[in-house]
Structure 1
Amino acid sequence: MGSSALLPAAQIPPPARDGKTWLDRALDAGITALNVTMGIKGVAQGADDFRAYLHSVHGYLSYFELEPRLLHVQSAADIARAKAEGRLGIVFGCQGLDTKLNGDPALILIMARLGQRIMQLMYNERSSLGSGCLEVVDDGLTEFGRICIREINDCGMVVDMSHAGQKTARDAIELTRGIPIISHANVRSLCDHPRNATNDLLTALADRGGVIGITAFAPFCENERGRPPTIDDMIDHIVYVAERFGIEHVGIGSDMFEGESYVRFERFFRRRYPEIVGQYQIDTVYAEGFGVVDDFAGMPSALARRGFSPCEIRKVLGGNFLRVFETVWG
């Protein structure tokens, strides 16, 4: 969810840790499938156009040929296959459509045929589809945005409202024929951040059977301004959604990006989006206890300590998203 298994442009995996490759760490932590960002937006610098998107696709397709432990997920059955075979499923997602399409919604079908399965409509700013979460005025979906959602529906892909403004996200929930998701965001009632979802939006999402993926990104889950959050602060958001909207509507949207560059973090994210990053540094921007893929191994026990049953834990750790994928991709 905003993550990458292959760093854009450089086409190298995230770095090893303690002598262990990123892929080995992800598999050993029990991760079955990962939603990765295709294109430039959110994970690299440069023009996020269709050519940049195609370079991302080329990189992953090449990686699949070279690394047999990876599996390109194009159906829900592929996730089950990845689990059975001990492989890591890679789901093609994205962050923002506007610049990739350059005004041409016909490219959505091409993206689908290349294996795209999750379409995040917006990034932080206004686009030809609607408003991002940082815009002061959110006028909702544009007509072009509605056209794009119809194309996404017809292509059997999931509509993702992460980074969208609240009205734009509500419009998208109402319009899409499939089950919508918010792949990575938290609860605004617990942390008043523009990237987090209001109760009204969560109600609309749950009413459509949707799922929100709770993230460990520290600015989105801090309980007290200036106090770095822990994994328990992150789980507070999971508990909140489960208790108020139903256990079927919450998952994990880690938003982990271990290959982040200090230079890009400081001169891209902090300079362009200070409201997103806040006071956090590159080494403190994730909640303590859930900042690298290795930490997924401890999530079942962390949820159990908070009172979740084994069945509920399975739903949170992928079951709910899998239900959406089985419906929409089918």
Structure 2
Amino acid sequence: MNDTVSTAPSTPTRPGPVGVPVFDGHNDLPWALREQVGYELARRELTADQSGTLHTDLARLEAGGVGAQFWSVYVSTELTGQTAVTATLEQVDCVRALLERYPERLAAATSASEVERARESGRIASLMGAEGGHSIGCSLGTLRALYRLGVRYLTLTHNDNVAWADSATDEPRAGGLTRFGEEVVREMNRLGMLVDLSHTAADTMRDALRVTRAPVIFSHSNARSLCDHPRNVPEDVLRAVPDNGGVVMATFVPKFVLQAAADWDRSLDEHLLARGIHPLATSEEARRARAEFEAEHPRPRATVSDVADQVERLRSVVGVDHVGLGGDFDGTVFTTSGLEDVSGYPALSEELLTRGWSEEELAKLTWHNPLRVLGEAERVSERLREREEPSVATVEQLDGPAA
């Protein structure tokens, strides 16, 4: 029986307001599908309006002008070792299942040229990014296996440290990257897998920028100078991005956009922890506790204008050739007003146009910059593969036995 869902659009994917689509750096739809329906995709049919359950469906992707998407194959840091690796493979399988289910709307892409071909066919180029070094289980062989399966970036950490790299939201342990962490970056360069520095500690960012031979990305991060949250990028790191050639992809998550939202979120976390609830929990108990807190303490609302402020701050430091967008839809409980789901990108583009951005500049932000970085990583890989063998180093060899 053929279970493929016919979803042919009447017209190709709608471009953004300046004639090019959006290439977004981070969307957590696969994890939302795991959490909500256990990967039973028929229960979250993306040809239907999924407002109220998901930030993402096919009609809203088209309305938002999305032409390329890095789907995050994230797994929780509560999963470790081989359990984390297995869950990551299940996430990859979910993305593959989506591609098989909607072949006339989504196209697999693992290179810049494949992204362009998908755009020409009117389909959304679908790439994968693994979110957190725990997904490779301290194994460069696993890293290579994920690359062969189509994963094209690895976020070095998520919310917790890994054995070889410090996270932005954990107590420092490695002081940035360990020797094995540096080897992970070098092997990613050799493969052509983008080094993603969102979620990492500032010293991890600095070490990675020192070691890498290819442009890096920050798939969903903002400027710390405008919103003092450890998930955002400090000024000295931003200043190093142009020389590296990388791209910082502004995110829409309110607590990374607006200082008042960051302060409110810290208070919410304290409220949840006092009740024995993990701040990232999605249980009914967690939802009730959040609603209770918000009823007593109204939540500050970030707006499209606030996100535009972040984009402009990034541009002022790194330059227009090094900014992009990474909404983090379906990976956040709270959203920005006017950017509640994947249909909202045109609102941000229109806001930036009113602020004097040219159409050429906006096209770099929404499309050309991430596409360029992907292509440059491929070219670096071609050179390195000619002279370097795959690394067989282990964390024990380079960093010694675990404490």
What is the TM-score normalised by the length of structure 2?
0.71
Check the 8 A contact 1:121/1:159 in 2, yes or no: yes
Structure 1 residues 244 and 137 mapped into 2: Cα distance closer, same or farther (>3 Å)?
Answer: same
Does the 8 A contact of 2:308 with 2:348 survive in 1? no
* CA distance in structure 2 between the partners assigned to 1:323 and 1:162 by the alignment: 19
2:357 to 308, 314, 317: 308
Structure 1 pair 300–142 and aligned structure 2 pair: CA distance change class (3 A) = same
- Deviation of the 1:38 alpha carbon: 1.1
Matched, 1:256 2:291: no
Q: Are 1:319 and 2:368 matched, yes or no?
A: yes
Counterpart of 2:302 (choices 216, 225, 229) is 229
Aligned Cα RMSD in Å? 2.2
Superposed, 1:154-165 pairs within 5 Å as 154-165=190-201
- Superposed displacement of residue 39, structure 1: 4.1
> In the alignment, which residue of structure 1 is the partner of 2:27?
3
Structure 1 residue 183 displacement after superposition: 0.9
Cross-structure match for 2:111: 75
| Identity percentage of aligned residues | 30
Deviates more, 1:47-56 or 1:166-175: 47-56
Q: Retained in 1: the 8 A contact 2:109–2:127?
A: yes
- Retained in 2: the 8 A contact 1:122–1:164? yes
Distance in 2 (CA, whole Å) between partners of 1:120 and 1:243 is 25
The answer to whether structure 1 residue 177 and structure 2 residue 177 are counterparts is: no
Report whether the alignment pairs 1:243 with 2:316: yes
Is the contact between residue 91 and residue 118 of structure 1 (CA under 8 Å) also seen in structure 2? Answer: no
2:141 aligned to 100, 106, 113, which one? 106
Greater RCO (CA < 8 Å, at least 6 residues apart): 2
163-172 or 241-250, larger mean C-alpha shift: 241-250
SS of the aligned residue for 2:150 comes to coil
Do the aligned partners of 1:101 and 1:107 also contact (CA within 8 Å) in 2?
yes
Distance change (3 Å), C-alpha of 1:27 and 1:329: farther
Q: Which range moves more in the overlay, 218-227 or 104-113?
A: 218-227
Q: Residues 4-48 of structure 1: CA distance to partner in whole angstroms, max 9, x if unpaired?
A: 343236223576139998112102321011111114237xx7556
Displacement of 1:300 in angstroms is 2.0
Does residue 207 (structure 1) correspond to residue 243 (structure 2)? The answer is: yes
Asked whether the equivalents of residues 88 and 130 of structure 2 are also in contact (C-alpha less than 8 Å), the reply is no
The answer as to 2:152 corresponding to 1:117 is yes
Does residue 29 of structure 1 match 2:64? Answer: yes
SS of equivalent residue, structure 2 residue 107: strand
Question: 2:51: which partner in 1?
Answer: 17
Does structure 1 residue 57 correspond to structure 2 residue 92? yes
Q: Give the deviation of 1:238 after TM superposition.
A: 0.8
What is the DSSP-based 3-state SS (H/G/I as helix, E as strand, rest coil) of the residue aligned with 2:154? strand
Q: Select the residue among 298, 316, 319 that pairs with 2:347.
A: 298
Q: How many residues align?
A: 303
Distance 1:316 1:72 in 2: 22
Equivalent-residue separation in structure 2 for 1:101 and 1:244 (angstroms): 33
Q: Tell me how far apart the structure 2 counterparts of residues 324 and 31 of structure 1 sit (CA, whole Å).
A: 18
SS at match of 1:90: strand
1:114-161: CA deviations, max 9, x gaps?
Answer: 111111111122211210002343601011211211211111111000
In structure 2, the CA distance between the partners of 1:290 and 1:50, relative to structure 1 (3 Å rule), is same
CA contact 2:28–2:74 (8 Å) conserved in 1: no
Say which SS state the counterpart of residue 34 (structure 2) adopts. Answer: coil
Aligned partner letter, 2:353: A
Deviation at 1:101, TM superposition (A): 2.2
2:128 aligned counterpart, secondary structure: strand
**Contact 2:110 2:150 survives alignment (8 Å):** yes
**Corresponding residue SS for 2:131:** coil
Residues 182/27 of structure 1: CA separation in 2 closer, same or farther (3 Å cut)? same
Q: How much has 1:223 moved relative to structure 2?
A: 4.3
Q: Which digits, 9 at most, give the CA deviation of each residue in 1:193-245, with x for residues without a partner?
A: 11111100101122211110111100011144553211111111111121232
Q: In structure 1, the residue corresponding to 2:224 is in which secondary structure?
A: coil
Cα drift, residue 325 of structure 1:
0.7
- Give the TM-score, by structure 1 length: 0.85
What residue in structure 2 maps to residue 134 of structure 1? 169
Letter in 1 for 2:374: F
Q: Give the direction of change, closer, same or farther, for the CA distance of 1:303–1:167 in structure 2 (3 Å limit).
A: same
Q: Supply the distance in 1 between the matched residues of 2:137 and 2:51 (Cα, whole angstroms).
A: 39
Compute the displacement of 1:293 (Å): 0.5
